[in-house]
Amino acid sequence: METPPPLRSFGRIRSRTLKPRQASLMETLLPSLRLPAEGPVDPMRLAPGAREAWLEIGFGGGEHMAAQAAAHPDIVILGAEPFLNGVASALRHVEEMGLRNVRIHDGDARDLMARLPDAGLDRIFVLFPDPWQKARHHKRRLVSPAFAAEAARLLRPGG
Ligand SMILES: C[S@@+](CC[C@H](N)C(=O)[O-])C[C@H]1O[C@@H](n2cnc3c(N)ncnc32)[C@H](O)[C@@H]1O
């Protein structure tokens, strides 16, 4: 059987040219924070000593992720976002705030989710994920029964 094309829940990958500083952070900071592109990812091994692991899906410009990371230095926060301008903005927050507990997947969150273990996350944030109000855009929505089932697989009991 032919494999169906992957669901496309996001719009543009890049909307405008990155500013020089953002472009520089993509080159210098992102490689040290980037999650492996393939293979299983064990969140608790990413930051030894972390008390919990949280995931933010579609972090946009990273403001919420950075604020959470700053408020909870004992938690490792995984962020997934395919929009490169958003990733670059998040890197700026990570640098300016001196955060050491953020790891980034600069791609589709569902690809990362599929590589995370059962019950390995304590919290998942999905904030304003779907600006797809029109019926013809319905197929682009991230949140679906299949997405909810996958999120439930990833969360610890009570997460
Ligand atoms: C309406 S924006 C909200 C951004 C941010 N959460 C906020 O509240 O400001 C939706 C975000 O979800 C991201 N997104 C959509 N599909 C995604 C996917 N499959 N994986 C990760 N991020 C996704 C988009 O790139 C976009 O940044």
Quote the pLDDT of residue 141.
87
Q: Is 3 or 66 the better-scoring residue by pLDDT?
A: 66
The predicted structure's pLDDT at residue 157 = 96
For residue 62, pLDDT beyond 90:
yes
Q: Would you say residue 6 lies in a domain?
A: no
Give the binding-site residues of ligand 1, using a 6 Å CB cut-off.
9-10, 57-60, 80-83, 86, 108-110, 127-129, 131, 142
The CATH number covering residue 111 comes to 3.40.50.150
CA 1 to centroid of ligand 1, rounded, Å: 31
Our answer to whether residue 130 is catalytic in this structure is: yes
Residue 3 within any structural domain of the chain: no
- Give the integer Cα–Cα distance in Å for 103 and 42: 12
Nearest-atom index, ligand 1, CA of 7: 19
Number of domains in the chain: 1
State the DSSP code for 50.
Answer: -
Q: Residue 1 falls within a domain, yes or no?
A: no
In what helix (H) or strand (E) does residue 11 lie, and over which residues does it extend?
none
Residue 13 lies inside a defined structural domain of this protein: no
Average pLDDT on 119-138 reads 88
What is the Å distance from ligand 1's center to 154 Cα?
A: 19
Question: 110 in a domain, yes or no?
Answer: yes
- Give the confidence band of 132 by pLDDT, cuts at 50, 70, 90: confident
Residue 60 is assigned to a structural domain of this protein: yes
As a whole number, mean pLDDT of residues 18-41 equals 96
Q: What are phi and psi of 69, to 5 degrees?
A: -65, -40
**Which position has the higher pLDDT, 38 or 11?**
38
User: Is it the case that residue 8 has pLDDT exceeding 80?
Assistant: no
The mean pLDDT value of the chain amounts to 92
**Is pLDDT above 80 for 2?**
no
Predicted pLDDT of residue 6? 66
Percent of the chain with pLDDT over 90: 78
The span from the CA of 94 to the CA of 88, in Å, is 10
Exposed / middle / buried, residue 93 (Cβ in 10 Å: 0-12, 13-18, 19+): buried
Tell whether 71 is covered by a domain: yes
Distance of CA 127 from the midpoint of ligand 1 (Å): 8
Lowest mean per-residue pLDDT among 72-76, 88-92, 120-124, 131-135: 131-135
C-alpha 56/C-alpha 59 separation (Å) is 6
For residues 45-54, average pLDDT? 93
Query: What is the domain range of residue 147?
Result: 20-33+48-154
Q: Is the pLDDT of residue 97 over 80?
A: yes
**Mean pLDDT (whole number) for 87-115:** 97
